[in-house]
Amino acid sequence: MIIGKEGYLNNAPKPLKNTFEQILSIIKKALKLSINGLKKTSLYIKLIGLISNPNYVSMAYIYHRKIRVQDTDATGVLYFANQLQIGLEAFEEFLNNKNFSLQSMIEEKAFLLPIVHTKADFSHPIVLGDLLSLHLQISHIGTSSFSHSSTLHKEDLLVGTTLITHVVYCPQTKSSKPIPPGLLHLLKSA
């Protein structure tokens, strides 16, 4: 990405320029709020979505999860890898609510959804007993892969984020394949 002397994108395709303008618009609105106020608004979530995916569409799926002893390390703080596991739980619940059976997918073996990339950011400690709200969105849809991201909130405070990318894998050919139409429709309707 090239920023020119005037501060605009040079030689960028129109969709990228439009996305950049959307981000600037959201930032301008957000600057009118305090930082704490920003974390309490959907503007923060929209900004995260726009930065990670120009085709971002807000998704209204929220998953609630209480932190249990099994989720924490010896200090009572969420074990780092479990933040990703909880993000995956939220996605599984989203699929269940859309009547997509992971069990049937595994038994039929027409395709599987292995994870090929993950990312987690930690903003504040998450401890035993905390009740989290995860705001899940489909952040990218490709030809044979897709990503979902979650923002984790403790009350009104953003405490972390997750990003998980799956590839559609055909066990018979041992290679990736296009996202099946039914799953693609489900992801796009999110």
| Model pLDDT for residues 12-57, shown as the tens digit of each residue | 445 555 555 666 666 666 665 555 554 444 455 555 555 555 444 4
> Half-sphere exposure (CA, 13 Å, Cβ side) for 119?
11
Domains of the chain: 59-188 (3.10.129.10)
Mean of the pLDDT values across residues 94-119? Answer: 95
Contact between 74 and 50 under an 8 Å Cβ cutoff? The reply is: no
Q: CA 49 to CA 137: how far, in whole Å?
A: 8
Between 124 and 3, where is the model more confident?
Answer: 124
Q: How many percent of the chain have pLDDT more than 70?
A: 68
Q: Catalytic annotation on 130?
A: no
Per-residue pLDDT at 27: 66
Spatial CB neighbours of 37, under 8 Å, sequence gap ≥ 6: none
Per-residue pLDDT at 167: 98
Nearest to 154 by CA among 180, 173, 128, 179: 128
3-class secondary structure, 88: helix
Whether the model clears a pTM of 0.75, i.e. scores above it, the answer is no
**Six-digit token string for 5:** 């002397």
The one catalytic residue in 73, 121, 130, 156 is 73
